[in-house]
Amino acid sequence: MDEQHVRSQLVVFAREIREIYRKERERSAELAHALDQLNDSYLSTMKTLAFLVEAKDVGTRMHLDRTSQYGMALARLVAPDLAERPDLEWGFLLHDIGKIGISERILNKAGPLTPSEWSVMRTHPLIGAQVVAPMAFLGRASDVIRSHHERWDGRGYPRGLRGEEVPLAARIFSVVDAFDAMTSDRPYRKAMRVADAVEEIAGFSGTQFDPDVVEAFLILMSGKAEPVEARPLLATTA
């Protein structure tokens, strides 16, 4: 094979490589566009599911947004790597999705629940986990949905997990969930002062809440935390 022929073959080969590269770039762009559309679809799904909860339980209006912001601020302080996962915020946003399976009579009752009503209410974490189970894109969000009412001392529900058996995301969220519940008006009681709520959460460190998470929460509430992302939480305490 002469030198001229070899050169001609190399030119043809180079052209083929360029064409393959061009097609791959086009395909990558198409895949990126499809991924963006898929993410938009996921976000729409999240908003729809959250709306279902808000429509059913008047007490959750704004609670979902607040606790999601609070939870992400605290997660960035406690576990920055965990806070980078999009499914963490989805779990925070959808933590009460199981309430779609609870009667409005119980959800919106003006007074304290009876023992039998509490028994029904305590099924909502398991209902929520079942609702999102087929949605693989939610990742570990179900950890928060299923376990945000578990306690550090093992006296929570629905499974009575203890200590680090409770997923970290759920341990983080349980603190901000309790804080928002205490500082929000409910049909059967008025909101607690922020300072009193913070003191009460500190008092439950090591029993209801993970001590390390409570310590981070107190730092966040003191205004001494560095992350800018913590500011939405701090702004609520003014």
Q: Which residue carries 């729809």 as its tokens?
A: 48
Q: Which residue carries 């939610």 as its tokens?
A: 138
Provide the pLDDT for residue 233.
36
Q: What is the pLDDT of residues 114-140, one digit of tens each?
A: 999 999 999 999 999 998 888 877 888
pLDDT at position 77 over 50: yes
Asked whether residue 27 is domain-assigned, the answer is no
The CATH number that applies at residue 192 is 1.10.3210.10
Asked whether residue 38 is domain-assigned, the answer is no
Query: Contact, 182 vs 191, CB < 8 A?
Result: yes
Q: Which residue carries 């409910």 as its tokens?
A: 186
Number of domains in the chain: 1
- Range of weakest confidence among 132-141, 147-156, 163-172, 228-237: 228-237
User: What average pLDDT does the chain have?
Assistant: 83
Give the list of residues 6+ apart from residue 71 with CB closer than 8 angstroms, or none.
88, 89, 92, 172, 173, 176, 177
Query: Contact, 191 vs 200, CB < 8 A?
Result: no
Identify the domain containing residue 140 by its residue range: 46-235
Q: Is residue 158 reached through a cis peptide bond, with omega within 30 degrees of 0 on the bond before it?
A: yes
Percent of the chain whose predicted confidence (pLDDT) is above 90: 45
Provide the pLDDT for residue 235.
33
Query: Contact, 140 vs 87, CB < 8 A?
Result: yes
Asked whether residue 226 is domain-assigned, the answer is yes
Asked whether residue 194 is domain-assigned, the answer is yes
What crossing angle do the helices spanning 3-56 and 86-93 adopt, rounded to 10°? 20
Provide mean pLDDT across the span 85-97: 89
Provide mean pLDDT across the span 89-112: 88
Q: 215 burial class (0-12, 13-18, 19+ CB within 10 angstroms)?
A: middle
End-to-end CA distance of the chain: 83
Q: How far apart are CA 126 and CA 129, in angstroms?
A: 5
Asked whether residue 30 is domain-assigned, the answer is no
Asked whether residue 4 is domain-assigned, the answer is no
Provide mean pLDDT across the span 161-173: 97
Provide the pLDDT for residue 140.
85
Asked whether residue 12 is domain-assigned, the answer is no
Asked whether residue 2 is domain-assigned, the answer is no
HSE, CB side, 13 Å, CA atoms: give it for residue 35: 6
In this prediction the pTM is 0.76
